[in-house]
Amino acid sequence: MQIIKSLRKYDLALIAASVVIFAVLEVLIDMRLISSFWRLQIILIGINIILAASLNLINGITGQFSLGHAGFMAVGAYVSAIMSMWYDLPFGMALLIGGLAACLIGVLIGIPTLRLDGDYLAIATLGMGEIIRICILNIQAVGGASGLTGIPRNTTFAWVFWIMIITLFFLKNMINSTYGRSCISVRENAIAAAAMGINTTFAKVLAFAIGAFFAGLAGGLFSHYFSIAHPSSFTFLNSYNYLTMVVLGGLGSMTGSITGAALITFITAALADYPEVRMIIYALCLILLMLFRPQGLFGSQEGSLLLRRLINRRKEAGTHGKTLGNQ
């Protein structure tokens, strides 16, 4: 009971901090104190956090190796855009339908492919993402190779920020639930999990479907911000970029996904004026990380746990110092 109360207090503190951060950034954006370039980067950071956190559920929490996240993003981007343009649906409903469409594709593809493991699964998901992109390229009704233009620019900072917060809280609670524990058991030892009566295929498909749903939401936000959905925005390189964010922050850590997405987006933006050396610096940073911190910045730990450990150590050090002083 004490643990539940502490978790609730922690969640309330996070919500309060989110409201403060949102209010500060919203005021700065409304007053034009942040340049248009960095306003764009803030939006991209929010979208990338959604993508990295949802991919972390598949790769980090469930222990699968997916390289097709950009494909689910593409489904969400195009379906939500069609709902807005052709059927004039409200923006929120269009996003939801786009996310559900990506979730459905994730389930349909996940059932046959998630019986695979390791490199075989990576190849299958990579092929899946490319199949989605090639299909879009050949559908002239949605623009084909020219992309779908004229999408209403409905995405705002508020939409991105609060969908990001909802995504993170949903994933956190899901990971701490019975289903989340099943996914973690699959990651640790699938054979042992199956022997304990856990349906490992269901756990994999569930993680795949939820990750695809939030990737679809991110795709809808992306297309409604740039007013265009183009196949070149959803290539294998994009999936690799999201995977890099997850690995940089730490597989299995939602705090790491947030940090990795923010860092990668910031580094890419900061080096935008140096295109000839940008990829060299980017690659060197990744090589150094793999050499000196292969488990990522946070490993599989959450920032809250590390903070609590630091506070407890200081309290213990203070108590020990007082004890020595009394002696």
Kindly report the CATH number assigned to the domain that includes residue 129.
Answer: 1.10.3470
Asked if 182 and 40 sit in the same domain, the reply is: yes
Coil, strand, or helix at residue 63? coil
pLDDT of res. 13 = 82
User: Based on the structure, what is the number of domains in the chain?
Assistant: 2
Asked if 113 and 44 sit in the same domain, the reply is: yes
pLDDT of res. 293 = 82
Asked if 18 and 155 sit in the same domain, the reply is: no
Q: What is the pLDDT of residues 129-174, one digit of tens each?
A: 999 999 999 999 999 989 999 999 999 999 999 999 999 999 999 9
SS3 content of the chain, % helix, strand, coil (to 5): 80, 0, 20
pLDDT of res. 6 = 55
Asked if 2 and 139 sit in the same domain, the reply is: no
Q: What is the pLDDT of residues 80-105, one digit of tens each?
A: 999 999 999 999 999 999 999 999 99
pLDDT of res. 91 = 96
Asked if 160 and 18 sit in the same domain, the reply is: no
Asked if 254 and 154 sit in the same domain, the reply is: yes
Asked if 174 and 301 sit in the same domain, the reply is: yes
Asked if 168 and 100 sit in the same domain, the reply is: yes
Asked if 136 and 154 sit in the same domain, the reply is: yes
As a whole number of angstroms, the distance between CA 25 and CA 193 comes to: 45
Q: Which residue has tokens 């803030």? A: 42
Q: Decide if pLDDT at 279 tops 60.
A: yes
Q: What is the pLDDT of residues 51-75, one digit of tens each?
A: 999 999 999 999 888 898 999 999 9
pTM of the model: 0.90
Q: Decide if pLDDT at 200 tops 80.
A: yes
Side-chain half-sphere of 133: how many Cα atoms within 13 Å? 21
Asked if 216 and 287 sit in the same domain, the reply is: yes
Asked if 147 and 19 sit in the same domain, the reply is: no
Asked if 44 and 26 sit in the same domain, the reply is: no
pLDDT of res. 158 = 95
**114 lies in which domain range?**
35-326
pLDDT of res. 325 = 56
pLDDT of res. 252 = 87
